[in-house]
Structure 1
């Protein structure tokens, strides 16, 4: 959706509400009390009423907009901004674009949307051939570290992130030349460099055990062969970066460039949220204008708490 079509379709609060209701009706409404899926729509209340127990569910209830005091129009404009560019929007920039006085509600709204993106990505797994490596992302040093470092408030540190790419090898039948193509990505912040954390992260990302995994020779990957079909590890060097783990390193490089150019600073506890947004858009890089509606659906189906 471009800015012109957005302005045509969403002219006021009512038009945003009606669109949200239309999308929510498609996904279905579940009663919190009796779990029934049959409801009446109360137009004057903008709520659903359960046919079984008569309890009511507001249009926002059960979505990431629940308990938010921001209007549907503000949410829709924010979703539009987040979905129309490959790069991210800082909460401060969204606040400026929307002309809102308070920063905190905007910050909370944007992070809820990033959380919804991550929950949507967690529904999907990788299959076939997987490239896997780790990247070190610059984050703001914890407050306790500031007290011991001369750099003060500007101090930085690194956080370890596991990046996975579902790649395939395509061969040109005429020339015999092979080239790697990539479909989907995943990115997860690791708590440490321990083997258990790496194993758990990979297992959660895979569709089954009929997987071929390519990595470097990191000691964190010693158990991978136990739960995939084939584990191929190569010594980390320039050739490995450009060929075997090509797409992983492209993703790491693009994510770092994206973050540096958009955000003033990122705290470690929020790094996964920024990665959620990056991967969500990356995996939908061919969706075009459809990504707006997909993000609306993600905001309806995600657990906002």
Structure 2
């Protein structure tokens, strides 16, 4: 039997020990290279685009020689106004990617000796950077589609006679949401959050090519797909695969997301469900990439993302 990738030495190319041994200057240089890869880490003014600047060593800032604008390596990025050192920031990213089923903010706060609020906001910023990879994604070939419901748990009554059938819509809490995933075979994964499974059909029109072949289950919400695509269905109440038609790749995604919910985060419903669904998709697409490659990919995506509008000053809001 072949060895699982995560058990092999190829999966381990970066460790926390290496991060802390490299020191603050080396970590800072790495962030510079990820921010300005075209100039090999040399600063480029974000205001006028000039590549000539002074380096203010005492403040670790750059001053443009053309417009005199001052900026740091994280200015305008998702890490803007950071307080952590670059070593701790890189260590937090390594911790984040090392969890195959995610890492809780509480565990990271203990590992990094920071407040829970710091780890919580930082990890959500990383999830926001992950969403950048899904922008303008178009799926082709064989695309599997499936939906799974999260949140809206209703605690059963103590006495059996008082319990209600929670499968009926009027006995639910109204907080239940559906994560719909569209996944290419041996390709990309694209999740969406909707109220009901059938509400995802407009998203399919926007993100699945007209020449694609769609595999779906027997859910009535997918009946509308037959009008626009070569749609093949499999009845899961009878069999999981029918002449090559299956949704196994979509089910693999939901397996990871359910394990993230049950074993790590415990509650991922509500307004944060979209972020966790995107994280699970990113982890599925990069499951055969070594942890060092994942960390560098996430650092590059974070430095290429603009300042977060959802998480900047999150704990300072009156709301």
Q: Which is richer in strand?
A: 1
Extract unaligned runs of 5+ from structure 1: 142-149, 168-181
TM-score (structure 2 length as normaliser) = 0.75
State the secondary structure of the residue aligned to 1:239.
coil
Q: Does 1:65 find its partner at 2:79?
A: yes
Give, in angstroms, the shift of residue 157 of structure 1: 5.7
Maintained 8 Å contact 1:138/1:156: no
Paired position in structure 1 for 2:133: 120
Please point out which of 81, 100, 116 is paired with 1:103. Answer: 116
Partner deviation per Cα, 1:17-59 (whole Å, 9 max, x = no partner): 111001112067775544x253425252433444543323221
CA distance in 2, matches of 1:276, 1:216: 22
Give, in angstroms, the shift of residue 225 of structure 1: 3.9
Please point out which of 15, 19, 42 is paired with 2:55. Answer: 42
Paired position in structure 2 for 1:184: 188
CA distance in 1, matches of 2:255, 2:120: 26
Maintained 8 Å contact 1:38/1:52: no
Aligned residues: 272
Extract unaligned runs of 5+ from structure 2: 1-12, 155-162, 164-172, 310-319
State the secondary structure of the residue aligned to 1:162.
strand
Paired position in structure 2 for 1:200: 202
Partner deviation per Cα, 1:60-92 (whole Å, 9 max, x = no partner): 112111022222222111100011231211000
Give, in angstroms, the shift of residue 223 of structure 1: 3.5
Paired position in structure 2 for 1:300: 303
TM-score (structure 1 length as normaliser) = 0.78
Give, in angstroms, the shift of residue 220 of structure 1: 2.6
Task: Tell me the C-alpha RMSD between the 2 structures.
Answer: 2.8
Give, in angstroms, the shift of residue 8 of structure 1: 6.3
Paired position in structure 2 for 1:130: 143
Paired position in structure 1 for 2:250: 248
CA distance in 2, matches of 1:219, 1:39: 60
Partner deviation per Cα, 1:240-297 (whole Å, 9 max, x = no partner): 4685112112221232023210013224101111122211111011111311110110
